[in-house]
Amino acid sequence: MPSNRRALVTGASAGIGEAFARELARRGHDLVLTARRADRLEALAQELRDRHAIEAIVAPLDLARPDGPEALVAALEAQGLTIDVLVNNAGYGVPGYFNEQPWSTHAAFIQVLMTAPTELAYRLLPGMKARGYGRIVNVASLAGHVPGSAGHTLYAASKAYLIKFSQSLALEGKGTGVHTTAVCPGFTYSEFHDVTGSRNLVSKMPAFMWMDALTVARQGLDAVDAGTAVYVNGGVNRAIKTLFKLLPDGLALKMIERQGRRFRTGAHTG
């Protein structure tokens, strides 16, 4: 990617989002960082300003707000700031069976993981196409390539959506200078499993199953630059994706069911 571009990273206060911000800054990009935790955003922004001499703007926002994406883009436009790279990373998991949570919890989840990234892409695409350059990275997951499991009911579904959405945008962007990629990591060292309360359970996974967030970010940015519509991080994860693609649906679902029982935090949580 050339320098002097500006990137918007959602969920930039920790984990993969923070890693994307660090790698984009290292590559010379100015940044707009958004997440709910303003103090962590500002600390990261200041560090990246000092280290890489780039401009880093903090825009605290809860993307669960239905008006959040529109308000954010309007604020950027009011300041005359264009976005060349969009990293839709914000996300989390909701453990438990589907009907154990109130609908408001699921509605907020859908807003953050599906509606917000879709709307941000919709609102920023026209400018990218007009300038003849744009990069959209949708942070999906290996979970979007395998059958959904009991518990975390909407997680795999939301990631599968991002994968299909990215494929369509990638095709629509042909010849416009705008590339779209769904980045699909597997187990990644971050705060994700602490937030969902599954840290002790997933820690049982062997070390070779895990990747670090910075490697995921670097590979993702290289993939979108290369025009790769879907990129699965890591050889192990690519092998898992291929295996489940080849298995009959019924057998694949039984395997997920069996594996899911090992990582259930309770009788009705996942």
List, by residue number, the catalytic residues: 155
Q: What is the DSSP string of the chain?
A: --SS-EEEEESTTSHHHHHHHHHHHHTT-EEEEE-S-HHHHHHHHHHHHHHH---EEE----TTSTTHHHHHHHHHHHTT---SEEEE-------S-GGGS-HHHHHHHHIIIIIHHHHHHHHHHHHHHHHT-EEEEEE--GGGGS---SSSTTHHHHHHHHHHHHHHHHHHTTTTTEEEEEEE--EEESSHHHHHT-HHHHTTS-GGGEEEHHHHHHHHHHHHHHT-SEEE-SHHHHHHHHHHHHS-HHHHHHHHHHHHHHT-SBTTB-
